[in-house]
Structure 1
Amino acid sequence: MKQILLLVTIFYALATTVVYGQQNTKDKLKKTKIDHFFTCSLDQFIDTIASRLDITIVYERDSLSRMDVNEHFFNESMQAVLKQVCNENDLQYWIENDGTVYILQQPDDLPRLQQLYKLQQTARNFTPKRIPEAKHAPKHFMFALTGRVTDQKTGEALPGATVKVRGTGLAGQTNTSGNFTILNIPSDTSVVEVTFVGYQPDYFRLDSGSVKRPVSFGLFPAMNNTISEVSITGRKKGVLNTDSRKVSVLQLTPAALNKLPNIGERDIMRAFQLMPGVSATNESSSGAYVRGGTPDQNLVTFDGFTVYQVDHLYGFFSAFNSNAVRDVELYKGGYSAKYGGRLSSVTEIRGKDGNKKEANIGGDLSLLSTNIYAETPIGENSSALVAFRRSYQGPLYDKIFGQFNTSTANNGPGGSGGPTGAAGGGMGGGPGGFANQTTPSSYFYDLNTKYNYAINGSNNISWSFYNGADKLDNSREMTLPSFQTSSGGSLNINDYTHYGNTGSSLKWTTSAGKLFGSTVASYSGFFSDRNRGTTGTITDSNTTTTINNGILEKNKLRDFSLKSDWEWQIASPLKIDFGGFATKQSIDYTYIQNDTTTLIDEHNSGTTAGGFVELEIDPNEKLHIQPGFRTTYFSPTGKLYYEPRLSLTYKLTDRITLKGATGRYYQFTSKVTREDVAGGDRNFWVLANDQNIPVGKADHFIGGIGYETNNWLFDVEGYYKKLSGLTEYSIRQQGGGMGMGGPFGGGTTTTTLTQNFYNGSGYAKGLEFLLQKKAGMYTGWLSYTLAEAKNKFENYGADYFPANQDIAYEFKAVNMYHWQRWSFAATFIFSTGHPYTAPVGTYTINTLDGNKINYLSVSAKNGERLPAYHRLDLSATYDLLRTDGSKKGSLGFSFFNAYNHVNTWYNEYYISNNQVITTVVKYLGFTPNITLSLNLN
């Protein structure tokens, strides 16, 4: 009955209400005739009517884009045409007093659409914009247009925005600083269309001033409930996006991260783990395992300085505060000659400059951490941002680590354990899973600051600073189980780890017509200190053995760099990128056992310097070719290293793109794995020396095809990487044994154990599939990766063996649904288990000084595999709005590992009474979290 009454009210109002705006729209609909054949979606049809009549039509694009119009209208009025199309699709329309037309799917849609439209107008977040008429006849022709695209509310640059000249094939994309150049503009009255993911598209008409000075285009952020009256130029984008002109590139804006489930808070690194080719099964690391590579083979930069440690709190957080990040790009392989020094991939993170329009304060509060930031303009030409984050041991922290430490009394072989420390910043362990354990005392913090100063319209200077650290104290008392002939014992374990990063950069950007430059001077420092000692007794039926030993690890890295990159738009089809770089590094690593035996003592320094040149060639609208060349001088070897690169894309049709890339890559600084079968592998940073630590080398070969529409993307890529110069440190003895360090060495380790850096080669190959729905109330993607990563070290045998990060196949399903102010998400991950080396027995060697050392006899290198990994994560986010309709924050609920499947992380082993005891270390079970995010403006 209410619907019938509302219908009567609507039709009565249509027949009797006559005001100027309403009557003007009616007159246009009646008087304007149309003779045209339409074969398009209904939203495109409505956009055509709105454009021709210069009226505002409000509707829900997501729904109407799924309806079609296939009709030839013969000189009929717009009113008759609109009425006929609405009837055929079971729709109605309403003309408001001000002349706005509302397309209704249900009669009771009207109040909701009116309210949303009103809120968006008030917030200036949805302002119906007409393309301004030209103020003069064209005076200038075929000129170069340079400018910048920014966020209209904050003044932040928008890299990757599309700038297109209407009615022509001329288009360009903004670079990392938001700048663009388009040559051969037809006239100074042309209309420019500007679009960017997460922002409303806008239109700007040029004038004579556009020839003389750089232009500035500001876009308004799109609201979640945007009802668009204009069609979006180009492809629609989702949470994680690809670039059709680049090979193996993923793009991300942190503003979209709250749609995804998380453990602690929005995390840019973990978001990438949900895409094909990036492993998602390493819960203990936020680092990127990309296409069979390790995290150290992924170059990570923040505002130009290199970040060497990307984890916080056992990997539950990444080192990057999303409130300080503007945008991120991940190059999965075959990347530009602009980047070097890594074998696998590049993650380039750009920080926010700070709000240039008004002061703003905001932050996030979860059950694991607190996060606050402030940004403000300083005068007319500068801005600043400060962001601080710290974890605390609240109820969720205790729950998480309580799960790791939960065990039954007298846990024997096959028990469960948990994280017991981190060497080099990663999670690591000694034995876990026994009674009398305590929750680790741990916390992290990080601080981001940035100052940005615009010297003039063409020159800008920014200073960025980062400092973050973790302190992990996992000291505890452990009671050993009693079984068979052993009567148990007790151990006191002192386990303290402290690691962190410091980074800073000073950046100057300049633009002069067709030339744009960026010069960065930076410093990056990393340290990791670990002190672990064990005292106590082990008692069996015959003897009592006293344990008193330990290890001390120190790893320190310092990096001073200077880099200058330039872009020169020579002509419409040709752009040249070139630049130079120089880096001075020093790395120290010591590994001392029992306070006296130094097993590893590396103190190295070196300089890398060189340059690159790269062409971006567009012979036509379909083909994009990007050949490049990079050369590097490395002082420790005294050699030059040459790195040719090539990538290309070809648009077979408007929707189908072919792509390929190849290149050579060298790595001079890497993390070496220190094999530890008993307690879990460690790793540490070293500098190549062309002796026992060679320079790493990789050759990439990539090919793929993509099919993309406004709403869908289907992408397939295959890759092959050939690797050499791989290094691993091990204390294996000839014959397959491995010395037992740590608390269960069975005696004092002697100096007969020396440095053993083993060198090898390898390969990684795979096939990746991605199906993504990018637009609508329901979005998400399915991805599947079939891959293989194998290494070969002569010391481990003549055959290839699975690399530690080898995953045969991995499936991911990401589902997101938006309904009014709610966003729901579910992600499911399934993959094969990681390979590992297992002990098969023990033996004892009597040393010359009368001591005994127990050794593990191990299986083939990585000859075993952990069980398959799978989990489901869920989240719900509710947007908090101000009275004017703008977003002031959100309340998020996340449920990590919703069905509580406990996945195996790794196995630990120790020897008691010449028997190998296994401890199974597990990942997190079901873990809920709540996050409140707020901002002042």
Structure 2
Amino acid sequence: MKPFYLCFALLCSVHLVLAQNVTISGYVTDLTTGESLINANIYETLEKKGTVSNVYGFYSLTLPAGQHSLQFSFVGYNKQILGLNLQKDTVINMKLKQMADLDEITVHASKSNVERTQMSLIELPTARIEKLPVILGEPDVLKVIQLLPGVQAGTEGTSGIYVRGGGADQNLFLLDGVPVYNASHLFGFFSVFNSNAVKTVNLYKGGFPARFGGRLSSVVDIRMKEGNDQEYKGEFSVGLISSRFSFEGPINKGKTAFIVSGRRTYIDLLAQPFIQLANKKADNEDINAGYYFYDLNAKINHRFSDRDRLFLSVYSGKDKAYEKSEFTSVQTNYSDKYNDNLGWGNITSALRWNHVFSPKLFSNATLTYSKYRFDVESDYEYTEQEHYDRDYFRYLSGINDVTAKIDFDYYPAINHSLKFGASNTWHTFRPGVNHEKTTIDEDGYQLDQDTTYGNENIAATELDAYVEDSWNITRRLNANIGLHFSWFNVQNTNYTSFQPRMALRYLVSDNLSVKASYAKMSQYIHLLSSATISLPTDLWLPTTQNVKPQNSQQWALGAAYKHNKGYEFSVEAFYKKMDNLIEYKPGATFSGVSEGWESKIETGKGWSYGAEFMLEKKTGKTTGWLGYTLSWSNRKFDNLNFGETFPAKYDRRHDVNLVLNHEFSKKFDIGLAWVYGTGNATTLGAQDYAAMLPGMGRYQSDGMITYYGGRNSYRMPAYHRLDLSMNFHKQKKHGVRTWTVGLYNAYSRQNPFFVYWDSKTIVVPSPEGDYYKRKPVLKQVSLFPLIPSVSYTFKF
């Protein structure tokens, strides 16, 4: 019986210890709007214990029973301090009030990088996004992310990002937890994220928490605003190429709120008169061409009680380029009709239910749907007398996803907070389907041919599960340890992956910490691209029986230091290796479907390493950061470049970013961004040789063979650019008016978009007489000189 008594005594002692602790929990929200405050600090000043609110504003903190002093804080808000005698579990919903003299420029993360266990994380406030100068004056989330160390931009003007040597497909974009596959508008010049609808932006470059999976290089976690449940608010902005609006307010005050925001370009409308004038050749010819994109965000949430809350969020966006022309001649009964369309877009939706099971257990159940679609259509009709021809072509590609998932936040003890959950996604991949239709009717001969061919749709199922523990081992040593498991079923083939994650932080002093992290990642989709810029013709393709999932391992080591006057400095070194990367075989493209896409690719590996430095000033009239990245990114494919290692397309040795904002007064502030980067790597022909044409017995100048050197062996000229913006604010009777004037590429640097070989004629002296010779010349194409912009914004 002795073991029984020992066990009984142990259980009693555990119960006694637990009985001495109580838990406070609740939500932290904005007093004026009702918006939840993410990562608000809840700190017990006597015990020196604390926690932060989650992405829905919920917090839980376990403390010994007795007298306590609780401090609730969030940057830009007045602190609230409560004195409590805690004897039982207590619910405290705290509403914080914004400071009267809030300077939006200084809004930043509520927890400094020194204190945070998570490394390789950067939090971006939307106020900063709206203050920085960008192309054509359009605030853009990804343009600001491009200004951060460790993040490479694509080519001139594009919104693609390449993080720590990874590819464009290795970034997970989450909009309210739903993946967005194509995050670009206008062929990559703008992102699909309307800043009016965005609440928070978090960029993870490494050390990924176990709750994230599915990509190798980064996670961009974007949360939409929830809507003001106290009063109606709105904003609209008119710029050179687009306008946007946002409107929010209560449906049932304090219970139900909504927000809706939209954006549309009017390039097609502005260009129409010029298109008509340039192409008008006869009164009986009609030409119509243009391009536009739009975004629409909507969200509604209802609070049933302190325990239950329901959210519904929807996003829809589309790009469309079109050209229509019709020419008719009554005299000859002749007509020509062209109708060409190019379009792509995303739809995402999420229905989520928050439930508080107990003061220590919070859950979030979510059902999501997403759709990405790319569509090319060309229709030509020709009529003359009794003759009629029609050629019709259409190409479709895309992805449909349906996901069900459940996530839990559990706070079992003072020093532990657990996150765990699972999800199941049903994928439908459409790698590319062609539809062709030909009709001929002439002199009694008729042909009507309708054909559909191409790559077959591929269905796949993906299961993910995770657990992670944020553990305060001691006051100075914190850890986040987790495991992510994934299972992918496609074409009767199963792939599984166990992905351990770990992050450590040691607090050397209150102002200095050192950190380390490790993360293993798996990715079951690939982006097949043959272009130097992000285009909708880039194909999203699944792992199959023949194409294995991408894998990576990343190690990072760093340090963070904060100065008492508002400066923070961080340095991180990283090493990442990647397997099962894919690229097109030489000369292959997305078109030409006589063979499946799997026959057009090569598989290889890659690795990247480097160091990132960031000096940031977060308070005062002048804020901003200086970032520098030193990095290498290489690839190796057995059947490319003769099996030799070559630099990745966006391998850059040096990358410098300087970002500054200065507020002269509440009525006037300026923004500045200067960037410098080593030129992109590209492949150029090294020499042309005349080819011997069969049967001719001599060399022909029009039969040439180009010899290429190593893959990506040529470096384009360095890229650098200065952007400026000025914001003029004025308080009006019903709101605040802002005029924004900007200069993109202020000193009009001719940065390379791409380079190519051309030739010019030179005179060569000779004793027999001068003669002419063609000399090869390397030329450069640049897109954007100095571009001014102006926009008008009104917030009410």
TM range (shorter): 0.7 to 0.9
What is the distance in 1 between the residues matched to 2:180 and 2:593? 37
Give the Å deviation of 1:866. 1.4
Give the Å deviation of 1:801. 0.6
What is the distance in 1 between the residues matched to 2:453 and 2:656? 41
Distance 1:333 1:657, change over 3 A: same
Secondary structure, counterpart of 1:904 in structure 2: coil
Within the candidate set 192, 204, 210, 1:319 is matched to 192
CA-to-aligned-CA distance 1:890-919 (integer Å, 9 cap, x gap): 2211111111112111246899xx999987
Q: How does 1:49-64 map to 2 (within 5 A)?
A: none
Aligned residues: 705
What is the distance in 2 between the residues matched to 1:845 and 1:690? 43
Q: CA RMSD in A?
A: 4.0
What is the distance in 2 between the residues matched to 1:794 and 1:392? 48
Q: Residue 455 of structure 1 aligns to which amino acid in structure 2? A: F
Give the Å deviation of 1:206. 4.6
Q: Residue 431 of structure 2 aligns to which amino acid in structure 1? A: Y
Within the candidate set 649, 657, 664, 1:819 is matched to 664
What is the identity percentage for the equivalent residue pairs of Structure 1 and Structure 2?
Answer: 28
Decide whether the 8 Å contact of 1:789 with 1:802 is kept in 2. yes
Give the Å deviation of 1:833. 1.0
Give the Å deviation of 1:346. 0.6
Q: How does 1:797-812 map to 2 (within 5 A)?
A: 797-812=642-657
Give the Å deviation of 1:209. 9.2
Aligned to 1:454: 303
Q: Residue 125 of structure 2 aligns to which amino acid in structure 1? A: T
Decide whether the 8 Å contact of 1:311 with 1:318 is kept in 2. yes
Decide whether the 8 Å contact of 1:342 with 1:667 is kept in 2. yes
CA-to-aligned-CA distance 1:654-706 (integer Å, 9 cap, x gap): 111111111210000121223689x9996210001140x22100001111011
Aligned to 1:333: 206
Aligned to 1:774: 618
Aligned to 2:79: 202
Decide whether the 8 Å contact of 1:680 with 1:906 is kept in 2. no
Decide whether the 8 Å contact of 1:505 with 1:523 is kept in 2. yes
Aligned to 1:569: 411
**Which TM-score applies when normalising by structure 1?**
0.69
Give the Å deviation of 1:923. 2.9
What is the distance in 1 between the residues matched to 2:736 and 2:532? 49
Aligned to 1:625: 479
What is the distance in 1 between the residues matched to 2:243 and 2:569? 39
Decide whether the 8 Å contact of 2:23 with 2:61 is kept in 1. yes
Within the candidate set 142, 145, 148, 2:27 is matched to 148
Aligned to 1:642: 498
Decide whether the 8 Å contact of 1:766 with 1:785 is kept in 2. yes
> Would you say 1:391 and 2:240 are equivalent positions?
no
What is the distance in 1 between the residues matched to 2:588 and 2:348? 38
Aligned to 2:520: 664
Distance 1:867 1:584, change over 3 A: same
> Would you say 1:757 and 2:601 are equivalent positions?
yes
Aligned to 1:904: 752
CA-to-aligned-CA distance 1:786-812 (integer Å, 9 cap, x gap): 011111111112211111121111011
Give the Å deviation of 1:151. 1.2
Point out where structure 2 has 5 or more consecutive residues left out of the alignment.
1-18, 279-286, 326-336, 382-389, 439-450, 695-701, 760-773
Aligned to 1:876: 726
Decide whether the 8 Å contact of 2:187 with 2:536 is kept in 1. no
> Would you say 1:927 and 2:781 are equivalent positions?
no
Aligned to 1:277: 150
CA-to-aligned-CA distance 1:806-826 (integer Å, 9 cap, x gap): 111101111111111221111
CA-to-aligned-CA distance 1:574-599 (integer Å, 9 cap, x gap): 12211111111111122769999999
Q: Residue 902 of structure 1 aligns to which amino acid in structure 2? A: Q
Q: Residue 303 of structure 2 aligns to which amino acid in structure 1? A: A
Aligned to 2:97: 220
Considering fraction of residues, name the structure with more strand: 2
CA-to-aligned-CA distance 1:419-472 (integer Å, 9 cap, x gap): xxxxxxxxxxxxxxxxxxx99721100111111011110111100111000012
Give the Å deviation of 1:258. 2.4
Aligned to 1:506: 351
What is the distance in 2 between the residues matched to 1:614 and 1:935? 41
CA-to-aligned-CA distance 1:5-31 (integer Å, 9 cap, x gap): xxxxxxxxxxxxxxxxxxxxxxxxxxx
Give the Å deviation of 1:496. 4.1
What is the distance in 1 between the residues matched to 2:593 and 2:178? 42
Give the Å deviation of 1:210. 9.8
CA-to-aligned-CA distance 1:136-181 (integer Å, 9 cap, x gap): xxxx985211121111110000111111123331111111111111
Q: Residue 132 of structure 2 aligns to which amino acid in structure 1? A: L
Decide whether the 8 Å contact of 1:273 with 1:280 is kept in 2. yes
Secondary structure, counterpart of 1:727 in structure 2: strand
CA-to-aligned-CA distance 1:236-255 (integer Å, 9 cap, x gap): 84799857321100112213
Give the Å deviation of 1:195. 2.2
Aligned to 1:604: 458
Q: How does 1:325-474 map to 2 (within 5 A)?
A: 325-379=198-252, 380-393=254-267, 441-473=290-322
Aligned to 1:515: 361
Within the candidate set 247, 251, 259, 2:131 is matched to 259
What is the distance in 1 between the residues matched to 2:116 and 2:193? 27
Decide whether the 8 Å contact of 2:69 with 2:84 is kept in 1. no
Decide whether the 8 Å contact of 2:73 with 2:80 is kept in 1. no
Within the candidate set 616, 622, 636, 2:470 is matched to 616
Decide whether the 8 Å contact of 2:51 with 2:59 is kept in 1. yes
Decide whether the 8 Å contact of 2:39 with 2:110 is kept in 1. no
What is the distance in 2 between the residues matched to 1:930 and 1:779? 23
What is the distance in 1 between the residues matched to 2:571 and 2:47? 31
Decide whether the 8 Å contact of 1:225 with 1:820 is kept in 2. no
Q: Residue 202 of structure 1 aligns to which amino acid in structure 2? A: K
What is the distance in 2 between the residues matched to 1:160 and 1:239? 6
Q: How does 1:516-595 map to 2 (within 5 A)?
A: 516-531=362-377, 553-590=395-432
Q: How does 1:102-141 map to 2 (within 5 A)?
A: none
Within the candidate set 47, 61, 65, 1:168 is matched to 47
What is the distance in 2 between the residues matched to 1:901 and 1:506? 47
Give the Å deviation of 1:921. 3.6
Q: Residue 674 of structure 1 aligns to which amino acid in structure 2? A: S
CA-to-aligned-CA distance 1:560-581 (integer Å, 9 cap, x gap): 1112111111111112211111
What is the distance in 2 between the residues matched to 1:676 and 1:169? 53
CA-to-aligned-CA distance 1:625-654 (integer Å, 9 cap, x gap): 111111111112313211111111111111
CA-to-aligned-CA distance 1:30-61 (integer Å, 9 cap, x gap): xxxxxxxxxxxxxxxxxxxxxxxxxxxxxxxx
Q: How does 1:697-776 map to 2 (within 5 A)?
A: 697-710=551-564, 711-730=566-585, 732=586, 738=587, 755-776=599-620
Decide whether the 8 Å contact of 1:590 with 1:598 is kept in 2. no
Decide whether the 8 Å contact of 1:156 with 1:355 is kept in 2. yes
Distance 1:878 1:195, change over 3 A: farther
Secondary structure, counterpart of 1:289 in structure 2: strand
What is the distance in 1 between the residues matched to 2:794 and 2:535? 41
Decide whether the 8 Å contact of 1:670 with 1:686 is kept in 2. yes
Decide whether the 8 Å contact of 2:271 with 2:290 is kept in 1. no
What is the distance in 1 between the residues matched to 2:544 and 2:576? 23
Give the Å deviation of 1:880. 2.7
**Which TM-score applies when normalising by structure 2?**
0.81
